[in-house]
Amino acid sequence: MLILRKHFAVHRKWFAMFLAITAAAVFGYFYWAHAHATRLPGGSSPPGLILGILGGAIIIFECLLWPRRMLRSWRWGSARLWMKAHIWFGLLTVPLILLHSGFMWGGWLSTILALLFAMVIASGIFGLVMQQFLPRRMLIDTPLETIYSQIEQTMQMALADARNLVLATCGLPKESLEASAHSQPSKESRSLPSKSSDRREGGRVVVGAIRQAELIPGQLLRVPVPQVPVPNCEVLRQKFNATIQPFLERGRRFRSPLSNRTRSAEFFRQLRAVLDPEAHSILEAIEECCEQRRQFDLQTRLHWWLHSWLWIHLPLSMALLVLMFVHAYVALKYW
Ligand code: HEM
């Protein structure tokens, strides 16, 4: 975090630059006001004009961050340097533009400009705070995190694993058994976990890989699959079809007790109490799949907070840039 001591050391020079320029601007502005017996000089006064030009030049520089990111071949300075300059010069525009305005809203154009400016600054600070907190929170709260664009695909694999485990534990449903006694192998029996289709290794199914988090190495959960169906497991199939499968498929979009960790633990505890101990390891693996879904949902939410603010910051910055030129043109025309 910018304000934490260990990070502040990196920003010390920038902060000193911010304070020095702000102090010089405030001093020059009020000195001129005092010398000319004016209370708060506006944008057309010499200090107001100079500060306006300086603030405008910085705003143009701030907007260069966008082409700099888009044009990969354009590599002037490191990304870190650009980011530090962006933050501190961006913050510096606040005192400069405030002094330039003479602490007045002015006409409708300058009022819109001031509101846009305030929103760009506020969204920038908001984004910066998100960028400091969220990646760390992701590391701690979502150790099963995966590449964002692959979340649904990974979840589909986890769902297929869970389905195979339920099928191997409970056997074929009664209706399928009756149907298969009279006809061709049913669709479901064709999807029975086969040694080649599921990820079996010596009677075990590998469910979900846990990514390496900091120094803790990744770990694979290997589930021993029952070689014959476990008796009295119908309740597992029912709960799987009614509650677990829709949750694994849709996550938070399916309002489910499983989206809450405590309620999910209670749900599985109750299920464990009525199931044969032989099915407990399978239940644990399915519970792990639900944990994976919860973490992916959290990752999706954090990802949204981490990136969506740019959809405000960037377009408003562009609008600010355009209106700033209109404002300068109009102000100079009627000067
Ligand atoms: C007049 C003021 C400002 C303007 C015109 C402006 C404009 C921009 C532009 C054009 C981008 C590039 C967006 C992109 O690459 O998609 C950007 C990114 C960003 N801005 Fe600002 N900005 C201003 C002030 C600030 C301030 C005061 C802060 C924080 C204190 C800030 C924080 C950020 C951050 C964190 C990014 C994202 C950079 C990244 O992740 O690559 N901005 N801004």
Which sequence spans correspond to the domains of the chain?
5-142+308-333, 148-305
pLDDT digits over 88-114, tens only?
A: 999 999 999 999 999 999 999 999 999
User: CB of 126 closer than 6 A to ligand 1?
Assistant: no
Chain-centroid distance of CA 221 in Å reads 27
Separation between Cα atoms, residue 21 and residue 196, nearest integer Å: 69
Ligand 1 centroid to 113 CA: how many Å?
17
User: CB of 239 closer than 6 A to ligand 1?
Assistant: no
Nearest Cα residue to 112 out of 330, 334, 335: 330
Q: Which helix (H) or strand (E) holds 223?
A: strand 219-224
Sign of CA dihedral 141, 146, 148, 153: negative
CA atoms within a 13 Å half-sphere pointing along the CA-CB vector of 23: 6
Residue to substitute in 313, 314, 316, 318 for testing ligand 1 pocket (most ligand atoms within 8 angstroms of CB): 313
Which pLDDT value is given to residue 179? 66
Chain-centroid distance of CA 172 in Å reads 41
Ligand 1 centroid to 92 CA: how many Å?
13
Which pLDDT value is given to residue 254? 83
Separation between Cα atoms, residue 258 and residue 266, nearest integer Å: 9
Other residues' Cβ atoms within 10 Å of the Cβ of residue 258: 23
Where on the phi/psi map is residue 231: left (φ > 0), alpha (ψ -120 to 50), or beta? beta
Nearest Cα residue to 227 out of 285, 185, 275, 169: 169
Which pLDDT value is given to residue 204? 55
Which pLDDT value is given to residue 18? 98
SS3 at position 216: strand
User: CB of 130 closer than 6 A to ligand 1?
Assistant: no
Ligand 1 centroid to 118 CA: how many Å?
13
The predicted model scores a pTM of 0.81
Which pLDDT value is given to residue 212? 40
User: CB of 87 closer than 6 A to ligand 1?
Assistant: yes
Ligand 1 centroid to 116 CA: how many Å?
14
Q: What is the DSSP string of 50-118?
A: HHHHHHHHHHHHHHTHHHHHH-TT---S-HHHHHHHHHHHHHHHHHHHHHHHTT---SHHHHHHHHHHH
Tens digit of each residue's pLDDT, the chain (335 residues): 555 566 778 899 999 999 999 999 999 999 999 999 888 999 999 999 999 999 999 999 999 999 988 887 777 788 899 999 999 999 999 999 999 999 999 999 999 999 999 999 999 999 999 999 999 899 999 998 889 999 999 999 999 999 999 999 998 887 765 666 665 544 444 344 444 344 444 455 555 444 443 333 333 456 777 778 888 899 999 999 999 999 999 998 888 999 999 999 999 999 999 999 999 999 999 999 999 999 999 999 999 999 999 999 999 999 999 999 999 999 988 87
**Angle formed by the axes of helices 280-307 and 261-274, nearest 10°:** 170
Residue 64 Cα: closest atom of ligand 1: 10
Which pLDDT value is given to residue 120? 98
Residue 320 Cα: closest atom of ligand 1: 5
Other residues' Cβ atoms within 10 Å of the Cβ of residue 164: 21
